[in-house]
C-alpha cells in the first residue's frame, strides 16, 4: 500500500469521483459487437473500456491440448499499450498471464464444458482503457460474450471489486482507490445460483468486514447482472427487428 498524496474520501463521505461508498460506476454493456467472432461483448465501467471476443467450440490446435471429457477453455487478457497513462509493453506481462488464469477460473464453473469434449473455447479480452477493476469488468463482459456465442451456461458470471479506503468499505474501486487504498477484494458470482467463482483479497479485512463486503458485492452484482441480461436481450430484439445479426 502506498501513502495517498490526496484525500480519497471528503468531509461529506464522497469519493474522489463523487460517488458514495456503496455506489458503482456508470456501467454500459453491449453484446454482439464483433461480426467475425462467434460471440462478443463490450463493457464500459467508469473509464474502463473492454472488448471481448469468443470463438468456439472449435477444433483444438495444437491437438495434444484437447481434453477427452470436456472443452478446453482458454482465456487471454491483454492490455493495449495505450490503455494506461504510461505506455504498456505490447508483449504479455506476468500480470496479464496471471489475470488470464484468474479470469478463466472464474468463468469455468459456469460453462457446460462437458458438452463439448475435444474442442476449444477461446476468450480474447482486450482492455482498451484501464482504470481499476479490469479483471472484474472483464469477467462480466466475457460471460456475456460466451452467452452471445450460444455456449450453454449454468448462469452468467458477474464480478465487482470491494475495497477499503481510509478505513471505509467501498464498492467498485477506481484506479486511484486501487492504487492508494488499503485493500482490494475482487469477487465474481453466478448471481442466480448464488455461487462464488472468484474471491481474491489483497490487504487486511476483519471477519465483520468480510461479511459486509459480500453483502455489498451481492447488491452491486445484482445491478450489473440486470445490465448483462439487458445487453443480451437488446441484441435479439434488434435481430427480430432487422432480421439479421
Which of 27, 130, 141, 160 forms a contact with ligand ADP (CB under 6 A)? Answer: 130
Tell me: does residue 84 bind ligand ADP (CB under 6 A): yes
Work out how close the CB of 243 gets to ligand ADP at its nearest, in angstroms, rounded to a whole number: 39
Q: Of 4 and 230, which has the nearer Cβ to ligand ADP? A: 4
Q: Of 40 and 134, which has the nearer Cβ to ligand ADP? A: 134
Per-residue buried b or exposed e for 35-62, using 16+ beta carbons within 10 Å of the residue's own CB: eebbbbbbbbbbebbbbbbbbbbeebee
Tell me: does residue 101 bind ligand ADP (CB under 6 A): no
**Residue for grid cell 452467452:** 147
Work out how close the CB of 53 gets to ligand ADP at its nearest, in angstroms, rounded to a whole number: 19
Tell me: does residue 131 bind ligand ADP (CB under 6 A): yes
Tell me: does residue 176 bind ligand ADP (CB under 6 A): no
Per CB under 6 A, residues contacting ligand ADP are 84, 86, 88, 95, 130-135, 175, 178
Amino acid at each position: 500500500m502506498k501513502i495517498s498524496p490526496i484525500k480519497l474520501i471528503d468531509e461529506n463521505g464522497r469519493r474522489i469521483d463523487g460517488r458514495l461508498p456503496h455506489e458503482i460506476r456508470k456501467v454500459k454493456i453491449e453484446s454482439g459487437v464483433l461480426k467475425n467472432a462467434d460471440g462478443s461483448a463490450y463493457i464500459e465501467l467508469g473509464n474502463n473500456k473492454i472488448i471481448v471476443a469468443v470463438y468456439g467450440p472449435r477444433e483444438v490446435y495444437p491437438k495434444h491440448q484437447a481434453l477427452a471429457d470436456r472443452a478446453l477453455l482458454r482465456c487471454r487478457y491483454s492490455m493495449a499499450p495505450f490503455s494506461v497513462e504510461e505506455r504498456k509493453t505490447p508483449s504479455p506481462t506476468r500480470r496479464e498471464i496471471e489475470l488470464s488464469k484468474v479470469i478463466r477460473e472464474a468463468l469455468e464453473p459456469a460453462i457446460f464444458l462437458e458438452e463439448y469434449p475435444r474442442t476449444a473455447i477461446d476468450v480474447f479480452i482486450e482492455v482498451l482503457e484501464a482504470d481499476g477493476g479490469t479483471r472484474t469488468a472483464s469477467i462480466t463482459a466475457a460471460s456475456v460474450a460466451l452467452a452471445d456465442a450460444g455456449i450453454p451456461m449454468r448462469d452468467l458470471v458477474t464480478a465487482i471489486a470491494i475495497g477499503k479506503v481510509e478505513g471505509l468499505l467501498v464498492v467498485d474501486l477506481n484506479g486511484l482507490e486501487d492504487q492508494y487504498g488499503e485493500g482490494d477484494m475482487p469477487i465474481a458470482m453466478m448471481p442466480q445460483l448464488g455461487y462464488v467463482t472468484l474471491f481474491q483479497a489483497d490487504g487486511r479485512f476483519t471477519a465483520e468486514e468480510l461479511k459486509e463486503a459480500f453483502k455489498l458485492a451481492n447488491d452491486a452484482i445484482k445491478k450489473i447482472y440486470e445490465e448483462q441480461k439487458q445487453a443480451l436481450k437488446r441484441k435479439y430484439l434488434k435481430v427480430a427487428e432487422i432480421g439479421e445479426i
